[in-house]
Structure 1
């Protein structure tokens, strides 16, 4: 399982956008994955997002299309308003194509998928500090090196969720860190903001602003209709453009049911057993 922790560490360190950790993704699409795989985030049996369908209509649709005038403000003011609006949203969906697809709310609930490595997407459910994680494709995972290593120390892991507190388990803490959307603006330095033009994201008109985030310069695409939400953040690097797409603001979200205890195993104990057997600890090689 040492390789799993390497993948987790790499995922967290790869790119930090708006204070939320994430991995690189080379996708050119402005459209969230909901149209490509709508059903993948709605299951109650697994750790799907449970995100409802469109909740809008009538007056709400009109409000969403009403110009908000944010593009007339200074670049700093645009970023400040966008961060405030995004952090205040009651629910939202975060997608980094092929890496993350999570729906979350401000009550500490979060569900969906996180790919800690390209061949090991994990279904994730978080309720406050309690987290449940399970390989999306168990057959493939347990046929691989990481899965086989896990079964040596947790023979009954197949068919079960790794479960525990995000405060006591490194892997659960790192994976569920993607759910902290109240901290999106933490690392954004709005004083550095510069307007770079206008575009559209998933059919919505936006104003684009470059801003420093930690050591990177990212581009935020902010809605100019309805609430000035951040709809996309991109971070061009090495000829690639990792993207974080935000959508479904305020839409109903019912997290999946908590898996019963009989379908779980202890994350902290599994980690302790793995580190001891691998003898390499965090970031070690298998």
Structure 2
């Protein structure tokens, strides 16, 4: 299993799986917190609040087919600013965006895997790694990698499959990152899907999880905090369109 840029949409789907089915729910109790509100109402409010938040820090781990573990740690806002990292299969890359094109600084394994994932051989991977490893590389704002730095797009994926919104139930109150959160959960086949929603202030999503053979978990915090981006100088950025074959 390789970490490649072509697999970014699949990774996003895996990380968001617990959220996708939790944008609406089923039965509920009237116990505090959210007294008198059903789970579908709580989840809908959580998705809406999270979507409207000016910024958020997302940190997640997903175990995907083949035994690979993928990790993301990004801070992003609704103005197109983003800073963070992604890693998997021994590869790691930094992500940076200041409203325009996404910049990626990957290690040698990242670019070697990228070449292999695009159909190249070991020679192609070595050449690409020699050219790009440790450098900031420009990637189109609408490219596959940009999904990790697109707050609106990432959160919109929560609400794609409306057929999955049945059968949720409320659990108790748990602490997530020092904040109290109500637990919403659902059993689906051999997996349990869980969402933790803040009980104080705005009903932000604090954590989503999928428990099972391919577990994943994403935490959401630092809502509203400014995303600091240190834009590299132009001479530190490589544009693949200008690279010689």
Same fold, judged at TM 0.5 (above):
yes
Report the CA distance shift for 1:263/1:12 in structure 2 as closer, same or farther (over 3 A). Answer: same
The 5 Å alignment of 1:256-267 reads 256-257=230-231, 259-267=232-240
Number of the residue aligned with 1:109: 81
- CA displacement at 1:235 relative to structure 2: 1.3
- CA displacement at 1:178 relative to structure 2: 1.9
1:121 to 92, 109, 125: 92
After superposition, what is the alpha-carbon deviation per residue over 1:70-125, rounded to whole angstroms, capped at 9, x for unaligned? 3541111101110111111111100014601000111011110011x231111001
Report the CA distance shift for 1:209/1:231 in structure 2 as closer, same or farther (over 3 A). Answer: same
Report the CA distance shift for 1:92/1:3 in structure 2 as closer, same or farther (over 3 A). Answer: closer
| 1:245 aligned onto 2:222 | no
Report the CA distance shift for 1:90/1:76 in structure 2 as closer, same or farther (over 3 A). Answer: same
After superposition, what is the alpha-carbon deviation per residue over 1:156-213, rounded to whole angstroms, capped at 9, x for unaligned? 424421113233xxxxx22221223324243364852622312221222111123699
Whether the 8 Å CA contact 2:111–2:125 is kept in 1: the answer is: no
Give the superposed CA RMSD: 3.5
Aligned residues: 210
Q: TM-score, normalised by structure 1?
A: 0.61
Number of the residue aligned with 1:152: 127
| 1:4 aligned onto 2:13 | no
- CA displacement at 1:129 relative to structure 2: 4.2
Structure 2 unaligned spans of 5+: 21-31, 62-69, 116-122
Structure 1 unaligned spans of 5+: 20-67, 168-172, 274-286
| 1:89 aligned onto 2:53 | yes
Q: TM-score, normalised by structure 2?
A: 0.70
